[in-house]
Amino acid sequence: MNEQEKPFKHPSFYPGDAVETEHPFSLYISCWILLFVLSAFSYMVDLMEVQGYLRWFLVTIFAFLKAGLVVGVFMHMAWERMAFLYAITLPPLFLLALVGILAVDGAFVYYIRDLFMSLTGS
C-alpha cells in the first residue's frame, strides 16, 4: 500500500507493514535465556525438595513469569494495542472462577469421603 492510499496516520492501522513488530534477535535470545533460568529455578524447587505452601507458591510464580514472557515477548502481545490485549487476555481469567468453585466443591467431597470411607474401613 503506498503512502497516498493510507487514510490513517497511526502505524498500528497497518499491522502488515508496521515497523515496531521487528525486533533484534538479541531480544529473543535474552528472553530465551530468562526462560531457561526460570525453568531451572522451578526444577531446583523439586531437586531441593521444598515442600508445602512455599513449593506451590514458587512453582506457580515461576510458571506465570514464564507465561508472561512467552505471551508478551514471543507472541508480541507487549506491542499490541490495548483493545486487542484485553480482549484476548481477560476471558481466560474466568477460569479462576472455575478453579475457585471446584476447590470448594473438592474440599467438601474430600470431607464426605473421609467421613464415610473411614466408617466403612475402605
Partner 1 sequence: MSSNQHVSFEDSVPDNLKGLVADWSSDVQTFKVRWSKAMMWIFLVSDTFIFGSFLSAYMAVRLTTTVPWPNTSEVFALHVGGTDVPLLLIAIMTFILISSSGTMAMAVTSGYKKERVKTGVLILLTALGGVAFVGMQVFEWSKLIFEEGIRPWGNEFGAHQFGGFFFMITGFHGLHVSIGVVYLCIVAKRVFEGRYDRLNDYQMVEVAGLYWHFVDLVWIFIFAFFYLW
Residues that bind partner 1 (CB under 8 A): 7-10, 12-13, 15-16, 21-25, 28-29, 31-32, 35-36, 39, 42-43, 45-47, 55-56, 59-60, 62-63, 66-67, 70-71, 73-76, 80-84, 86-88, 91-92, 95, 98-99, 102-103, 105-107, 109-110, 113-114, 117
Q: Which amino acid is at 95?
A: L
CA 46 to chain centre: 21
Residue 28 CB, shortest distance to partner 1, in Å, is 4
- Per-position b or e across 58-91, b if 16+ CB within 10 A of its CB: eeeebeeebeebeeebeeeeeebeeeeeeeeeee
Residue 62 CB, shortest distance to partner 1, in Å, is 7
Residue 4 CB, shortest distance to partner 1, in Å, is 14
Quick one: residue 8, left, alpha or beta (phi over 0 = left, psi -120 to 50 = alpha)?
beta
